[in-house]
Amino acid sequence: MSKLVNPHGGGELKPLMLEGAALTAEKEKAVDLPKVNVSSREAGDIIMMGIGGFTPLDGFMTHADWEGVCDGMKMAHGSHKDLFWPIPITLSTDTKTAEILKEGDEVALFDAARDEILATMIVTEKYLIDKAHECMQVYKTTDIEHPGVEMVMAQGDVNLAGPIKVLSLAEFPQEYGEQFMTPAQSRAQFEKRSWSTIAAFQTRNPMHRSHEYLAKIAIETLDGVLIHSLLGKLKPGDIPADVRSEAIETLIDNYFVDNTVMQAGYPLDMRYAGPREALLHALFRQNYGCSHLIVGRDHAGVGDYYGPFDAHHIFDEIPADALETQPIKIDWTFWCYRCDGMASMRTCPHDAEDRLLLSGTKLRKALSEGEEVAGNFSRPEVLAVLRKYYASLKDDEKTEVKLSGHSAR
């Protein structure tokens, strides 16, 4: 019997990706179905449902579910009634397309960027939402400069609900190989390694010394750490997934004990929803088999929209039985010159002038501008990988990296 945490909802993993003859037949049928275009965020959600990362969802949320998730972080519909869920998983379309469709119609969910049908869906409901309300509840702002708010405001005016059948995982399996793990695969790896307590480390950046320190704190008390990188869409200026993966693998090879760390990736876009996204990160890491999620400073935040530890506090505000995966809450971490090593606010008694605060944004800014980076900021082997990447960029490919409050991670 497995000692890993249960998939969310307490049942079995629920991947929606078809296989074999069923996949072949559904693909043939999908060609003749009306097409509904999907955004990059929606495509990531489809693929996540395909691999079982969003277990136990069977498709895109109804109006009642949207409202329940926005206002109370729980679903309100059918067999998933009262299931904890922190961020709406919805599909939108334009008014013209919605007018053509009727409830009960079957549609093909088409990703124009990939020129591919990713899934089919039976439309069970069409509904309007208050986008500003969703933004205030989920992102705590309606400021269009917030990238998550921008995504919501740019989506179609009508949401479509219904169960889906996933036909493709897009380019992820081919492009990322073994790094692109499904929840079933990560659970099998944990079992093979005899791990039962695993902390997920969420990242969209290469790991600097502070990230390394956070992972090693978890390793001190748990069986292992899954460094789980986002493979979906990022902000301009963020480092691509393949470069990030190489840098992380270099760090693992040189600075971690064998069989204490795994690296994998997942297909979502960042929503930058701060505390709510921290909860979503814990939820789908439960499906991946992780018992814990490392939650540091300003988890999944951007700019100054959230307090540095709002993502810690939100775990104390949800019902005790909402998630099996629990947070490992870690304070500010930094290099202390007087301690001569990495430390946190809980372990270092020295003053601010003795501390070097580390962040992914600061590291990207220094590298993009060709500045020297101290060894107590990032490991030299990691810096070599990142410098090679920045040296390869043409002038028109470079994006200015701006520092903003505590958004730097």
Q: Cite the active site residues.
A: 204-205
Cα end-to-end distance, the chain, whole Å: 39
Distance CA 202, CA 325 (A): 14
Residue 204 CA, chain-centre distance (Å), reads: 8
In single-letter form, the type of residue at position 273 comes to A
Structure tokens at 169: 């995982």
Q: Any bridge partners for residue 122, and if so which?
A: 106
**Three-state secondary structure readout of the chain:** CCCCCCCCCCCCCCCCECCHHHHHHHHHHHCCCCEEECCHHHHHHHHHHHHCCCCCCCEECCHHHHHHHHHHCECCCHHHCCCECCCCCCEEECHHHHHHCCCCCEEEEEECCCCEEEEEEECCEEEECCHHHHHHHHHCCCCCCCHHHHHHHHCCCEEEEEEEEECCCCCHHHHHHHHECCHHHHHHHHHHCCCCCEEEEEECCCCCHHHHHHHHHHHHHCCEEEEEEECCCCCCCCCCHHHHHHHHHHHHHHHCCCCCEEEEEECCCCCCCCHHHHHHHHHHHHHHCCCEEEECCCCCCCCCCCCCCHHHHHHHCCCCCCCCCEEEECCCEEEECCCCEEEECCCCCCCHHHEEECCHHHHHHHHHCCCCCCCCCCCHHHHHHHHHHHHHCCHHHCCCCCCCCCCCC
Distance CA 399, CA 409 (A): 17
CB 76 within 8 A of CB 29: no
